[in-house]
Every structure is written in structure tokens, then in C-alpha cells.
Amino acid sequence: MQPSKWLITNILCLVLTLSFGQKIPEKPSPPRLVNDFSNLMTPQEQQLLESTLVRYSDSTTTQITVVTLPTLDGSEIEPYGVELFRKWGIGTKKNNGVLVLISTDPTRRRANITTGYGMEGVLPDMICKRIIDRHLVPNFKKQAYYDGLLATVQSISKHANGEYVNEQFGQQNDSMSTEEVIFVCLFIALFIALFIYMMRKGRSSNDYRQYGTRQRHYSDDTGPTIFIGGGNGGGGWDSSSSDDDSGGFGGFGDGDTGGGGASGDW
């Protein structure tokens, strides 16, 4: 983000804090990543989007938060988003939070994406503006609010993919990526081929020393048996809890933002 924009945004945030600080909604309790105060979505759609964002937060630690508001009480959406972001502490200490803020005020319907400090590299202002223009605005103009928000958070997650990986989540689920599975399979295949080659080479050398060039055939010589893996082993997701999300969202951390992101009208 450009220094001039950072300065202007923080000055506006200071004015907002002094004038409209009491207008910022309180942090939700219990904590939620989807907070549809404008009721743009049905309860089922809200839960579907919440489940999507919870799974993404669990697997990456990146917190994408959606907030819709019926009014901003006369404030511009950019400083309002920054103040809400900071008040709720969206993200973790890595500052890897993203806020998607929607204003349904009939006088000016606006959308904003605010990024934490740690997300500015993968989600620069230009990318945020493109996401709003390509995914959110067209759907919102058709009143397809859930589709627009889902497409928006999916695009955000694609740009941020791999930036933050929660190692604990991967250990708990005992799963491997496709690349890791291919590497392990190739390593095992190479080990087996080398083992068989060495066994055959050693046996041929021993037969030659004992019997010269005369070959011997043993009908009961099956060679060593190698067991790899187990019948009940293997990684992957637990199908009994893949769509449960019973644990829910644990809460926001201490994320901060410098005002990076973009806005647009819809």
C-alpha cells in the first residue's frame, strides 16, 4: 500500500475513533466468521459460508471474515473497515486476517476488502479491487448475495493459498498432499527395485562360486517377503466429521492492518 494512502486511512481512522467509535459493532460472542447484520443471506447460506471459512481457517490459520452492515453511520467504508478490523483483532499474531465488509446503506451500497499486514504481499490493492469487480459486484447486482460472497472468499483463498500453513492441523488429520504421496511412492518403488537387484546379484554370484556356470533352479525359492503398510493404515480425512464443523470458530487473535485493500460500489 502506498504511504500516502496509509497516512490518509489512519487519519480517517483516528477521526472515526473519536467521532464514531461507539458505532463499531462489538466482537461477536460466540465468535463467528460470518456476521450478516443486513440479513442478505438465509440462515442456511450463512452456515454454509461459515463452515467454508472455518475449514479454511483451521487448515491455514488465515481468517477471512465477512461482515454486512445496514449502515456505516456516515463514515467512509475504508476507515470503518480498518477500525472494525482492529477492534475485533481479525487474524492471528501473523496479521494474516482479511475482512470483507459490505454496506447495504441505500444511499451508497459499498463493498470493501481490508487486509492484514501479513496479507498485503499476496493480496495487494489491485488484486482486491479485481476480486470485488469480478466476483462480488456482478452477483450483488443480481441479488445473488451468497454466490457473490462465496466467489469472493474463494478467490481470496486462492491468492493466499500456501502463505500460512497450520502444521498442527496437518498432523491432527494425518494427511499428505498429492506431491508428498507421489514422492513417497516413488521412493518405495526405488527401494524395492534396488533391494531386488541386490538380492539377485548376490544370489547369482553365490551360485557361480559353488557350481560354476551350471545353473540351478529351486522350485521352492520364492525369495524374501516384504510388507509395506498395513490393512488399517493410511491418511486422509475422517468422513464422519468432514462436514460437521462441530468445533466451530475458536475466535479472533491479535491481527492488525495498515489499511491495505480496495473498495467498490455495487
Closest CA to 65 of 47, 42, 49, 43: 49
| Residues 6+ positions from 38 with CB-CB distance below 8 Å | 68, 69, 70, 102, 104
pLDDT of residue 49 exceeding 70? yes
Phi-psi region of 95 (alpha: psi -120 to 50; beta: other; left: phi over 0): left
Is 70 exceeded by the pLDDT of residue 27?
yes
Out of 117-131, 150-164, 231-245, give the one with best mean pLDDT.
Answer: 117-131
Lowest-pLDDT choice from 13-27, 75-89, 169-183, 223-237: 223-237
Q: pLDDT value at position 67? A: 98
Task: Judge whether residue 20 has pLDDT over 70.
Answer: no
- pTM, to two decimals: 0.65
Domains of the chain (ranges plus CATH)? 3-170+251-265 (3.10.310.50)
Residue-averaged pLDDT of the chain: 78
Band of pLDDT at residue 86, cut at 50, 70 and 90? very high
* Share above pLDDT 90 across residues of the chain, in percent, rounded to a whole number: 55
Q: Bigger pLDDT: 241 or 56?
A: 56
Mean pLDDT of 206-216: 48
**CA nearest to 155, candidates 179, 176, 127:** 127
| pLDDT beyond 80 at 43 | yes
At residue 47 the predicted structure's pLDDT band, cuts being 50, 70 and 90, is: very high
Confidence of residue 168 (pLDDT cuts 50, 70, 90): low
How many C-beta atoms lie closer than 10 Å to residue 213's C-beta? 6
* pLDDT value of position 166: 61
Compute the distance between CA of residue 111 and CA of residue 100 in angstroms, rounded to an integer.
7
Please determine, for residue 241, whether its predicted confidence score (pLDDT) is greater than 50.
Answer: no
Q: Cite the DSSP H helix spans in 33-166.
A: 43-60, 77-88, 125-131, 137-141, 145-160
Helix (H) or strand (E) holding 19: helix 3-20
- Give residue for cell 461482515: 67
What are the E-state strand segments in the chain? Answer: 34-36, 63-69, 97-103, 110-116, 257-265
On the question of pLDDT at 230 being above 80, the answer is: no
Of 102, 77, 104, 159, the C-alpha closest to 126 is: 159
Whether 215 shows a pLDDT value over 50: the answer reads: no
Q: What is the structure's pLDDT at 254? A: 86
